[in-house]
Amino acid sequence: VIWNSYGNFYLNTNQLDSALQAYLKALSFFRDTSVRFRANTYNGLTDLEIKKRNWRKANSYAKKALFIAKNSTNISSEKYSLQNLITISQEQQNYKRAFEYQKQLNALLDSLDKMNNEQMFNELEQKYQNEKKAAEILELKSAKEILEEKRKTEKVTNLLILSSIGGISIILILLLLVKSARHKKFLAVKEKEKQIKEFELQKAEKDLEHYKNELNDFTRHLLDKNKLLNELRKELKNIK
**What's the CA gap between 44 and 42, in Å, rounded?**
5
**What's the CA gap between 66 and 74, in Å, rounded?**
9
List, for residues 113-135, the tens digit of each pLDDT value: 776 566 666 677 777 788 777 76
**Angle ∠(207,212,216) on CA atoms, nearest 5:** 150
List, for residues 182-215, the tens digit of each pLDDT value: 888 888 888 888 888 888 888 888 888 888 888 8
Which has the minimum average pLDDT: 4-13, 99-108, 115-124, 143-152?
Answer: 115-124
* Across 97-102, average pLDDT: 94
* Torsion angle in degrees (nearest 10) through CA of 117, 119, 120, 123: 160
pTM above 0.85, yes or no: no
DSSP 113-134: HTT--HHHHHHHHHHHHHHHHH
Q: Helix or strand or coil: residue 68? A: helix
* Across 125-154, average pLDDT: 79
